[in-house]
Structure 1
Amino acid sequence: MSVPAIAFETYQALVSEIHAAGLDPGRWQSVLATLSRAAGGICTHMFGYDRKVSTSNLSYDHGYAPEFTESFFAYYRTMNAWAPGFAAHPVGVTVASGKMISDDALKRTEFYADWVRPQENIIGGGGAILMKDHDRLYMIGGNIRAVDRERLEHRWLDLVSLCVPHIQQALAANRMLAGLRLDRHLLRQGCDTDGAAVFVVTKSRRVALTNPPAERLIASGEIAQVDAIGRLQLTDSRGDLALERLLCDAHGTASLLLADPEPGGAHYVCRAMPIGEDALQMLPPPHNWFADPPMTAIIVRRRNQEADPALRIARKLGITPSEAAVSLYLVDGLALRDIAEARGVSLHTVRNQIKSAMMKLTLRRQSDLILAVDRAGRAPEFEGQSPNRTPRAADCVPGTSVTGFGISAKNPAWRPKRECPGENRVQTRNSIG
C-alpha cells in the first residue's frame, strides 16, 4: 500500500525551504532532510556526475551511514551503476532507479554487492537531472529500501517532479549571488570587472563559474572557447600558452594582450588573478562540486574599456572623480577619518566631497549615497543600462530595486521618490516586476 499524497502544507514548507537555500547555500543540507521526511524517511542526495571520466561527486546527502558516504567518495563513486543510465535522460525529467539500470543488471555489479545491499538493500528510488554543464551533470536523487519500495517510490518520484523547478530556480539564485560576491571580491583586490568577461577556473582550466559577458564571449568564439570537457581555451595560441604557464604557478598574476584572429578583430587584455581557497566559498552549488583550489579568476576586457571604477561612477552620476572615489570608500564601510588617511587629504576635505556629491544627487543621507554609488558601480550589462544615462530616482532610494546578473526584483513598498537629476518630483507605487 502506497503512502498518501503529500499535504499542501508540507509541500508549501518544502518550497519555502528550497528558496531559502537559494539565498543561503548552506541550507541545502536542510532541504534534503526535509525531502527525506516528506517522502517517508528515505535516503536523499544531490550530486554531480562527469560523463568523460564516469565519476560521481556527492555534495549533499541525508540518511546514509557516514561510513558508506566515505566509501562512496573513496572508491564506489567510479562504479555508480545508476549514473550512466541516469545521465541519458533529459534535464528535469523524473526517472525511477529501475529505468536507469534493470534490477537484474544492477545485482550483478560489485557496486550493488558491496555498497547497495549492505545498506538494507536500498535498490529503489530515483531522481532527476537538475542541469547540465558540458559533460558534467547535476542531479537530485533518493534511495529506498527494497521492503519500502512499493510503498514509498511513487510518492518520492511525485515529490521530485514537484520540487525540481523550484530547485533549479534556487540554484540560479545561488549563481547570481555568487557572481556578485566574486565581483566585489575582485574589486577589493584592485581589479574592476565592469563590463569585463570573468571566468573562474581550476588549475586544469575547468571552468567553475562565468558571468554573462564571459558567456557571450564564449558564444561568439572570438578569443575564448570551452572544450568538450569544460576547459577554457584561448584562440590566441601564444596567449593560451602563457595562460597555461600562469595556471601552473598558483601565485602567479599577469596581464596578457590577446587578439581576435579574424582580420580587423578587436584586441583584448586578459588578466589572471589567483583567488585561492576563498573561491570555493564564493562558488555556488553545483559549480563548487568539481572545483578544487587553487582557483584563478581570468578577467578579459577590450583594450579600450575604462577600468577605473571612480571614473566610471563619476561619469554615470555626474559627480567628480574625487567625490566618486570617496563615496566608494563609504560603500566599503570605511570611516571618514580612515578615508582621509587613505587618500592623503584632510577630514574636512572628505566631508566636503561627500556633501557635494549628495547635493548633486539631491540626497539627504549618506546611506542613500552609498546605495546610488554601489548601483552605479555595477556593470551596464547586468543593469540593462547605458553607461551615460542620467541617474533616475530608483537608483537613489534604498529598497526600490535590487538587480544583478540578469535577475531583478522590486520592493512593493509605497514611498515618495526623491528628486534626482533629469526627473521631476513624483509619488508612485512600485509594482512587483
Structure 2
Amino acid sequence: MANGYLVERRSGRDRRMVSDRRLGSERRAGDERRQSADHESVAAARGLISGGESFIDATTGAPYELAPMGSKSTLARSLLDGVGAVLVDIVGGFYEAGTDAKAWPQVLSRLRDLIDADVCAIASHEHDAGRGRLEHSVGIDALYVTAYADFYARDNVWLRDQEKFTTADTVWASQDLLPDARLVETEFYKFWLRPQELFHHLFGVINVEGDRVLFLMLGRARAKGAFWEDDADLIRRLLPALRRGLSAGVGFKRLQSLHRIALDTLDALPIGVFLLNDGGQIVVANRLAREILQDDEGLYVSTSGLGVRLTGGRVKVRDLILGGPSRAGERAGEIQGFSLPRGPGRKPVTLLLSPVQDFSEARNRSDPAAVLFAADPERPVEVDPRRLTRIYGLSRAEARVAALLATGKRLDEVAAALGLTYETVRKHLKQIFSKTSSERQADLVRTLSLGPGGLRI
C-alpha cells in the first residue's frame, strides 16, 4: 500500500482514518525480510556464524547440522541449551531497559532479529475495560501505535480469551488463539494488521495483576510462515528475566522518586543539613546549608572536605567524624556541638555534628557517615501568611501580623510595615495569642518559626 494512502473504517457512528505510512528506518524492505528466511540468514540472526558448508555455534565453536524448517532444529536447541552471547546480551538489556526506557528499542530489536520477526512490542491490556497500549515497540509506525491504543486494542481478537492470559510465562502462537481463516475476516486484521503486512504472532505473558496483563508480542509477515516451536521455547525461557528486569526498573524508579522527595523535604527545613561521608566530603546539602556555605559564615570546602573555622583555628570535619574504629557498623564519637564566631555584635552560627548509625554490610566510604546541622540565627525565617491562616485559623490581617512577628520584628515595626496603628496591631496580637495558644510574644515566635508555617516550601 502506498505511503499516505488512507484506510477508511466505519463502525456504527465511528469513522476512523488511519494512514498507512512507512518509516524506512523502522520497517525492513520485504525483499530483505524474505531473503533472511533461508537457513543461513536465520542462523546468523540467532547469534551463529557460517563456517564454510557447515555452521558453527558462535559461543562454543562446536559445529552442528541444520534441521529442516519447522522442526525441532538443532540450531535453536543448541542456542537454548547454551544460552549464547546474544541471549546473555538480551537478558542484560532487559535490566538496563528496566531502569532506562531509552534502551528498550535496542533490546527489543535484538529480540526481534533473533527469531526473525518484523515487529516486537511490550503491551498491556485491561480485559474488563477493553483498554490496551503498546508500552514499548520496534518496527511499528508511531501512527499505528497510537491507533492501537485509541481503537484497536479493544478489537484485538487474540486477547478475547482472557483465560489464556492469566498465568505468567505462558506463550501462545496466534493460530492457537484464533484460526488463521477466522483472523482474516476480522476488522482487526483488515485495518491494523494487513496494512502493516503483519500476520503471524507470538505472545508471552510477562505479568498479571487482576484483569491487567503485560505481555510480549512478536509479529511477522505471512510469507515467513508461523513461528517455530523452538521460538516459543526461547521466549518462554526469556520471560522470567524480562519480568525481573521490569520489576527492577519499577523498584529503581520508586527509589528515585523517594530520593527526590527526601531532597525536597530537606530543602523545606528551616535549618541547614549536610550529609557527610567518612572523608568529610559533602554527599548532600539542603538549600539552607548551601546558602550558609556560600555566605562564608565559618564553613568552607577544601580538598580535604568540609571544614570549620573555630576560635582556636581551622578544623577538618573528617577528623571529627573518624574518632577511631568502633563496633561493626557504628561510628565512633558522641554528638558534638560548635559555635562559629562572627564579627562584633553578630550572633554565631551554631553547628551540631551527629554520627550516622549504619549497620549495612554493603556500606562504602562514599555513603553518609555523619549529619551536620547548621543554624544561622541572623537569617530571617520566611513564614507564609496563607499557611498561618490554614494552620491556626487566623484572619488575613492577623496572619500578616504574625508572619512579621515571626521574623523578629517589634510591634511598632510591624505597624509601620503594614501601615496600621500600634493599637490595631496589639488587638491582632491578642487574637493571635488566643488562636495559637501562646501567652507571650516569645512563645508565639517560637511556635511560628518551629511549626509547619516556618517550612521553606
Give me the TM-score of the superposition, normalised by structure 2: 0.47
| Larger relative contact order (Cα-Cα within 8 Å, sequence gap ≥ 6) | 1
When Rg is computed on C-alpha atoms for both structures, the one with the higher figure is 2
Give me the TM-score of the superposition, normalised by structure 1: 0.49
